[in-house]
Amino acid sequence: MSSSRGLNLTLKIWRQPGPNARGEFRTYEMKNISPDMSFLEMLDVLNEQLIQTSEEPVAFDHDCREGICGMCSLMINGQAHGPDRATTTCQLHMRRFSDGDTIVIEPWRANAFPVIRDLATDRAAFDRIITAGGYVSVNTGNAQDANCLPVGRDRQEKSMAAAACIGCGACVAACKNASAMLFVSAKVSQLALLPQGEPERARRVTRMVAQMDKEGFGGCTNTYECEAACPAEVSVSNIARLNREYLRAVVVSEEGV
Amino acid sequence: MSSATAINSGSSRLQSNAPTGDITTRWDRHKFDLKLVNPANKRKFNIIVVGTGLAGASAAASLAELGYNVKAFCFQDSPRRAHSIAAQGGINAAKNYCNDGDSVWRLFYDTVKGGDFRARESNVYRLASVSTNIIDQCVAQGVPFQRDYGGLLANRSFGGAQVSRTFYARGQTGQQLLLGAYSALMRQVDLGKVKLFARREMLDLIKVDDVARGIVVRNLVTGEFESHTGDAVLLATGGYGNVFYLSTNAKGCNVTASWRCHKRGAFFANPCFTQIHPTCIPVSGDHQSKLTLMSESLRNDGRVWVPKNPNDSRSANEIPDDDRDYFLERRYAAFGNLVPRDVASRAAKKACDEGFGVGETKLAVYLDFRDTIKRDGAAVVKGKYGNLFQMYAKITGEDPYSTPMRIYPAVHYTMGGLWVDYNLQTTIPGLYCLGEANFSDHGANRLGASALMQGLADGYFVIPYTIGHHLATSKLPKISDDHPDVRGAVEAAKARVTKLLGIQGSRSVESFHRALGKIMWEKCGMARNEAGLKYAEQEIAALRHEFWNNVRVMGTGEAFNQNLEHAGRVADFLEFGELLVHDALTREESCGGHFREEHQTEESEAKRNDADFCHAAAWEYTGGHDSFTGEKEQLHKEPLEFENVHLTTRSYRE
């Protein structure tokens, strides 16, 4: 981490003072950035510099900085979470970039995720989709012994692979239609694969899809950008399952939906 | 603060309200003695829950299910982001599915002993006994725990235990449990029983007639101040590890809500009980903004070592076994690499202090999977730890399958917190504290996979019973928003923000936070001594005074302003940090995560002083704690009695 390895970079960052204000790109020169820094630590350094020159720091969402909370959310050179696969912005490190690079940093781009300020967006639409059925209706105290219902290991692992979704919204930001199908399919799949999800299976999928449409997310046209951008490696096969579940719900389900 | 001014629990201020008699029936008898609120009346009560991690989300959901009206608050953009989500390894439960001799009693015993005899026995027993219900509840919610081929739940062992009682979902157990609790919470939002307030930060507690009746929050998007009133307030706001600046906590984790309540009269207990986790990725440079933990489940298969020769310049793989010191296996024959966290962390520090550390900074030890990969194959190791290995590789740029990991301890969890009685009520009636934010169950050291257990126990299975008693037995007249106590709390919160913005100094909030963290880590970290702690008190006081004269907070209060949010949190850490140090100075013994160099055995192990310190130290705010002015907080002691697990010296050697 000697200074001789330090990177000199040009950042073009979207600055927007508020939800209704006009935004613009501003350019910042960064000197001698350690390749061992994370991308967000590089922005921390920028913000410290801005404070010294009395410019307001760049607002961006972040929290755990270990790739699991789903709060960080940057378009980096046009890619959601930047160039590395299966990696959130906070886990991206500067050794991925070269001396002299220009890096363009934008917020998630989707109508359903309005900008709050600079790089921070409002993703409450995702919470509203979960509210519309992304759960099992079981009150505390209702549960039977955990081993009463065996779940085959392959089924459990598929369910877990879908449940790994961190709710960051990269799938939406990466999609040319700003579709939330991967996000919705992850929760629908997790619960559809488990016996615990069975009683509300049809109602869940129809309500969640209805809420998704209401929030203004686009439709899926199978370009798979979502899967490529997903830091939790949620597979598009879940979207296929979502479609099956939806069809099953509206065509053959005995549940009143 | 001398012990002469201390008040024992004989004083009315620290009634634990823990039942006596047979420990196995205490919780049942207590539940029977608690007054109930009848089902039709529950909808008349409004409950405020601050924080939506495991404890907060599970409490909010469970209370709403009972029929109470709940308002849930979090500072993140969604309740699903709370830092419980980052817990990796697992959750303990005394199911004995492995038929290896586990029981509620053994989990209770392990937890009391692991906590180095500084927890309240009644609480720990209750925790162990509801642990089995938690697993049932989570499975019913659709939490995809790891299973065996027969379809039944899998378990693994974890540091500090000799049975396999840990349930897990890959290395993402916290995420899955939190998403389970979050889904239960969102279901209640769907049903209209919970109102959700995201991107709100609690800045003060509203007390009316000495009872907690509401909170003041700042809407972080618009900057507006809001008051919310109700019949009880629950804090589930997590730990204070970020007082050390570098920790495994999320960047937003803070002590503000707890500290504001402390200043309103809630006692703060055992702040010096902080846990340093042994398996974290070492610091790489001055830019470091946080530390990343890797689950201690890695210690099930990884072997910890340093070169026997401190000047060994060979790469790790070139050093033969004869030239390696597997120091945990050497020093702790019975537990080996699975000793509790505090013991493992101190052993690593000792190795580095003596010059045996590895890597560029010499502040790291190896965690080596060579032998396991040889025995089980890389595929098996990948199956168990794949995501952790990937994370390590991303952060360090090194491949842990071919090169041993380098690890070093980091601040991870805080056992101290607001003092609560057996009902989880603080010293302010109507104010409850759950999860990591309270002090009650882990004593001086928490065992692995027990944080998730405690957060969910408090939220799902304790508070739903205990809160009814307060609601059923208290007079709680409706409070209007223009009540003088409400207006007063709002004005105080506003004035503080205005003051922070008005200083317009020259030093950034970040630099104050880093400076505080450096003092805390160096003088009050893994090892502490009187001179260092006294020095730290002075330094923190000086830093705090500088902060209030020279901090530069950018922007305005009427907008989304992360710099202002950070400033408020650092201001509270600067007050709280001094209390933490003072508590460490006052506790003249070593126990669990609190290691005073003056108090150690000849073998460098912690030496407790049960004659003088077998108590919880609960601090009362009496106008400020300041080394400059000589102001001190008032110490109260809750004596701890060990009737079931007898006080012994903790040993993991044989």
Domain boundaries, chain A: 3-117, 124-251
Question: Mean pLDDT over residues B96-121, rounded?
Answer: 96
pLDDT in tens, B177-194: 999 999 999 999 999 999
pLDDT at B2 over 50: no
pLDDT of residue B12: 64
B12 close to B6: Cβ distance less than 8 angstroms: no
What pLDDT does residue A239 have?
A: 98
pTM, 2 dp: 0.96
CB-closest option in B86, B287, B460 to A66: B86
Q: For chain B, what percent of residues have pLDDT higher than 70?
A: 98
Mutate: best of B556, B562, B564, B570, partner A, most A CBs <10 A? B562
pLDDT above 80: residue B105: yes
Q: Which residues of B touch A66 (CB under 8 A)?
A: 86, 248, 290, 292-293, 391
Is A169 within 8 Å of chain B by CB? no
- Asked if A129 reaches chain B (Cβ–Cβ under 8 Å), the answer is no
Alpha helix ranges (H) inside A101-197:
124-131, 153-163, 170-174, 181-192
A146 touches chain B (CB under 8 A): yes
pLDDT in tens, B328-374: 999 998 889 988 888 899 999 999 999 999 998 899 999 999 999 99
Q: Cβ–Cβ of A140/B394 closer than 8 Å?
A: no
The lowest-confidence range among A144-153, B162-171, B316-325, B381-390 is B381-390
Q: What pLDDT is attached to residue B10?
A: 43
| Residue where the block lists tokens 């310049």 | B313
Which residue of B81, B198, B552 is in closest CB contact with A51? B552
Residue B191, number of CB atoms within 10 A of its CB: 12
Q: At what angle do helices A181-192 and A124-131 cross, to 10 degrees?
A: 30
Cβ <8 Å between A140 and B395: no
This model of the complex carries an ipTM of: 0.97
pLDDT band for position B8 (50/70/90)?
Answer: very low
In tens, the pLDDT along B588-603 reads 999 999 999 999 998 8
Indicate whether B513 pLDDT > 90: yes
The pLDDT value recorded for residue A257 is 64
CB-nearest to A41 from B78, B175, B289 is B289
Is A114 part of the contact surface with chain B (CB cutoff 8 Å)? no
**Eight-state DSSP code of residue B218:** E
Which amino acid type is present at position B638?
Answer: E
Q: Cα separation of A160 and A170, whole Å?
A: 19
- The neighbouring-strand residues paired with B619 are B268, B635
Q: Is the pLDDT of residue B136 over 80?
A: yes
Whole-number Å distance between alpha carbons of B81 and B79: 5
Chain B residues with CB-CB distance to A62 below 8 A = 251
Which residue of B lies nearest to A151 if distances are taken between CA atoms?
Answer: B151
CATH superfamily of A3-117: Beta-grasp domain (3.10.20.30)
Q: Which residue of A has its CA nearest to B388?
A: A66
Asked if A11 and A30 count as a contact pair (C-beta separation under 8 A), the reply is: yes
At residue A252 the predicted structure's pLDDT band, cuts being 50, 70 and 90, is: confident
Query: What pLDDT sits at residue B654?
Result: 65
For residue B569, indicate whether it is catalytic.
no
The residue length of chain B stands at 654
Q: Is A218 on the interface with B (CB under 8 A)?
A: no
Interchain proximity A68–B170, CB inside 8 Å:
no
Residues of A in contact with B172 (CB under 8 A): 68, 164
Mean pLDDT of chain A: 96
Residue from the list A52, A70, A190 with its beta carbon closest to the beta carbon of B142 = A190
* Fold classified for A124-251: Fumarate Reductase Iron-sulfur Protein; Chain B, domain 2 (1.10.1060)
Confidence of residue B639 (pLDDT cuts 50, 70, 90): very high
Please give, rounded to a whole number of angstroms, the shortest distance from the CA of A215 to a CA of chain B.
16
Of the candidates B213, B264, B341, B587, the residue annotated as catalytic is: B341
Residue B305's Cβ-count burial label (10 Å; 0-12, 13-18, 19+) is buried
Stretch 49-108 of chain A: residues touching chain B, C-beta under 8 Å: 51-52, 54, 56-57, 59, 61-71, 84, 86-87, 91, 93, 95
Q: Cα dist. B541→B267, B409, B513, B546, B579 in Å?
A: 21, 27, 13, 9, 11
> What domains are defined for chain B?
277-412 (3.90.700.10), 484-615 (1.20.58.100)
Same fold, A3-117 and A124-251: no
CA distance A176 to chain B (A): 24
Distance between A50 CA and the closest CA of chain B, angstroms: 10
